[in-house]
Structure 1
Amino acid sequence: MTERTTRPAAGTRLEHGISLIRVSGALDSGSQQAVTAELDTAFDTHPDSIVLDLRDVDFLGSAGIGLLVNARHRAARLDVPFAVVADNRSVLRPLRVSQVDGALPLHPTLEDALAAVRLAAT
């Protein structure tokens, strides 16, 4: 059995008040709390926008999908532009199968996600 770990980066503040959170490893019930804490910190700092980078996630479980949906709803309630970067099958497939992909602002590259939140913030 392969051990999966999640290492969310400390929320990085980019130019224009964009909070970037990078996640690697598994995003599931075992790691959800750490990622939620990073998102809470980001939302509490009242950023202009939030980008969640999942390019290095190698497993996305149902708890991770729930986290993404909750983050999207929270961002909408707070009127904070939100984007998710995902270009790998391990993230995109579970989102498609669960039919959540259409409810999330998914982008294949960090540059695309940054451009989208900058545009939404104007």
Structure 2
Amino acid sequence: MTEAGTQAATLTLALAGELDVGTQATTSALIEKALNAAPRVLVLDLREVDFLGSTGLSVLIEAQRTAEARNTLICLVTNRRATLLPLELTGLTTMFPMFKTPEEAKRSAHVQREQARVVPRVGTDVRQ
């Protein structure tokens, strides 16, 4: 169902098949595992997803909430109607940066800024 690869502060998770109620638990667990690796950017590659149902959309929304709490940017890669149409109809294309290829996502200026962002350590006074 998936493959993962890392590059600097970016982790790519490729999903395939159907993202629906039948794959919800597995997909959520894979995304959670990827987020636990604490990447600056998580690229979810949906190019091999054949069906994106409402439950799959909910998984993406929950992933976005978790990622925001962990200061991780989630980007979606899709070039298929099966995934793009549900994302457009629900307005989720405004929630995620969208790209046609993982390479395009990694090259984007927005992602580059996230990868280079320095976060102060806990207890560090940023006014110094």
TM-score for the superposition, normalised by structure 2? 0.81
- Output one character per residue of 1:9-35: Cα deviation in whole Å (capped at 9) or x when no partner: 2x32x2203211111111111112111
CA positional deviation for 1:64: 0.7
1:4 maps to which residue?
none
Gaps of 5+ in 2: 117-128
Q: 1:46 aligns with which of 38, 49, 71?
A: 38
- Output one character per residue of 1:59-100: Cα deviation in whole Å (capped at 9) or x when no partner: 000011111111122111111122110111000111111222
CA positional deviation for 1:118: 2.9
Preserved contact between residue 16 and residue 48 of structure 1 (Cα < 8 Å): no
Q: 1:103 aligns with which of 92, 95, 104?
A: 95
Preserved contact between residue 20 and residue 52 of structure 1 (Cα < 8 Å): yes
Q: Which has the larger radius of gyration?
A: 2
1:92 maps to which residue?
84
Greater mean alpha carbon deviation, residues 72-81 or residues 61-70: 72-81
**Counterpart residue type for residue 53 of structure 2:** G
Preserved contact between residue 69 and residue 104 of structure 1 (Cα < 8 Å): no
Structure 1 residue ranges (4+ consecutive) displaced by more than 3 angstroms after TM superposition: none
1:8 maps to which residue?
2
How many equivalent residue pairs?
114
**Counterpart residue type for residue 100 of structure 2:** P
1:30 maps to which residue?
22
